[in-house]
């Protein structure tokens, strides 16, 4: 079948339609897809009638085209994974006994496309970069749709390369000298404030998981292009590069779950950088596979009618291929 290619928002994001399962094994197609992903801001979607029946093994193999698939991370989440594969289920599917079989975070539905832009009052949508609190944050993710709601449940993406380039020169210069302090303890405590069952770290776990610091402007290791980076629920402070964080500030962030006011600098950018020039709303069809680059995009989940519809997504996490990791 002939493939059709279309841009999602100018040169940010690209979709290839008419993709078959056989294409996924074809080295030429793999090469072409990797190249498109790189040239379109790190957002690639493939769509095709027979992808809805993709096997977990085929999805893992396709993911390996873009990075090294994370194997760990399923411990304690066995009831939310595809058995035997490093694939996490996200959504609201349940077993016969009514137990949730996926990771579910309820967020509001978009009332209109105006809601795509970050709203400082509601702090929604929850635009973020995944897992910057980890020592080696993932380079990206692969997201595959098994079941899609008739309405809602879209995933939003924003182009952090073009958004950074659109800022004025003094702002770019100021940001380029900053680092985000990203703390797992802060992240978990913050979530526990509105989700009281959410476990917070013990003192030992906190000591074993010190914050990770990431550049607020990340130069992509492949292209060298700078992109805004490092904002998510774990981001507890923003400091000049190399400047130590005071212990009492970190304790407050971790134990009370409040962000240091320095994070406002990044949050204040969000309404601009999630505006229509930079964003894509991806409405899922079963079979779709989207790969995003965590180093130059933001993303956000949107809600759906959780009682009426089923959503089941399969998610894999990507790391830099081993050679690249060794060179760090
Ligand atoms: O469910 C979604 O649309 C996005 C979830 C998400 O943020 C993630 O898997 O990292
Ligand atoms: Fe995410």
pLDDT in tens, 15-29: 999 999 999 999 999
Over residues 149-202, the pLDDT tens digits come to 999 999 999 999 999 999 999 999 999 999 999 999 999 999 889 887 888 999
Nearest to 72 by CA among 53, 90, 86: 86
Are residues 89 and 34 both part of a single domain? Answer: yes
Are residues 13 and 137 both part of a single domain? Answer: yes
Count how many domains the chain has. 2
Are residues 229 and 286 both part of a single domain? Answer: no
Predicted confidence (pLDDT) at residue 324 exceeds the cutoff of 70: no
**Which ligand is closest in space to the CA of residue 89?**
1
In a domain, 292, yes or no: yes
157 and 280 Cβ atoms separated by less than 8 Å: yes
Domain boundary residue, one of 223, 239, 268: 268
Are residues 252 and 154 both part of a single domain? Answer: no
Predicted confidence (pLDDT) at residue 325 exceeds the cutoff of 60: no
315 a catalytic residue: yes
Domain of 99, in residue numbers: 4-162+271-321
299 a catalytic residue: yes
Over residues 41-53, the pLDDT tens digits come to 999 999 999 999 9
Tell me the best of 299, 306, 312 to mutate to test the pocket of ligand 1, counting ligand atoms within 8 Å of each CB and taking the most: 299
Are residues 255 and 275 both part of a single domain? Answer: no
Whole-number average pLDDT of the chain:
95
Q: Which atom of ligand 1 is nearest to the CA of 302?
A: 3
Domain boundary residue, one of 268, 286, 301: 268
> What spacing in Å lies between the alpha carbon of 156 and ligand 1's midpoint?
9
- 221-245: burial string, b at 16+ Cβ within 10 Å, e else: eeeebbbbbbbbbbbbbbbeeeeeb
Euclidean distance between CA atoms 169 and 166, whole angstroms: 9
Are residues 138 and 238 both part of a single domain? Answer: no
What confidence category does residue 123 fall into, taking pLDDT thresholds of 50, 70 and 90?
very high
pTM for this entry: 0.96
What CATH number is given to the structural domain containing 14?
A: 3.60.130.10
């Amino acid at each position: 079948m002939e493939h059709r290619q279309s841009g999602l928002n100018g040169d940010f994001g690209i979709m290839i339609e008419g993709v078959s399962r056989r294409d996924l094994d074809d080295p030429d197609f793999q090469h072409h897809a990797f190249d498109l992903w790189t040239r379109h801001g790190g957002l690639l979607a493939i769509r095709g009638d027979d992808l809805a029946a993709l096997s977990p093994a085929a999805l893992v193999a396709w993911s390996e085209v873009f990075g090294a698939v994370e194997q760990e991370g399923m411990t304690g989440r066995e009831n939310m994974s595809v058995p035997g594969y490093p694939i996490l289920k996200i959504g609201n599917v349940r077993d016969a006994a009514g137990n949730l079989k996926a990771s579910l975070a309820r967020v509001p539905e978009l009332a209109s496309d105006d809601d795509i832009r970050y709203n400082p009052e509601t702090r929604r949508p929850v635009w973020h970069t995944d897992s910057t609190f980890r020592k080696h944050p993932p380079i990206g993710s692969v997201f595959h749709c098994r079941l899609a709601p008739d309405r809602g449940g879209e995933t939003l993406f924003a182009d952090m390369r073009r958004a950074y380039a659109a800022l004025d020169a003094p702002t770019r210069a100021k940001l380029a000298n900053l680092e985000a302090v990203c703390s797992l303890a802060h992240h978990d405590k913050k979530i526990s404030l509105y989700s009281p069952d959410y476990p917070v770290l013990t003192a030992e776990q906190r000591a074993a998981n010190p914050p990770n610091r990431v550049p607020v402007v990340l130069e992509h290791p492949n292209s060298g292009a700078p992109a805004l980076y490092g904002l998510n629920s774990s981001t507890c402070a923003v400091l000049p590069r190399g400047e130590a964080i005071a212990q009492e500030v970190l304790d407050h962030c971790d134990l009370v779950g409040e962000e240091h006011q320095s994070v406002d600098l990044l949050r204040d950018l969000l309404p601009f950088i999630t505006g229509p020039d930079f964003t894509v709303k991806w409405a899922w069809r079963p079979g779709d596979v989207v790969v995003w680059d965590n180093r130059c995009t933001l993303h956000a989940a949107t809600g759906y009618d959780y009682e009426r519809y089923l959503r089941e997504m399969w998610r894999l996490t990507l790391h830099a291929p081993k050679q690249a990791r060794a060179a760090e």
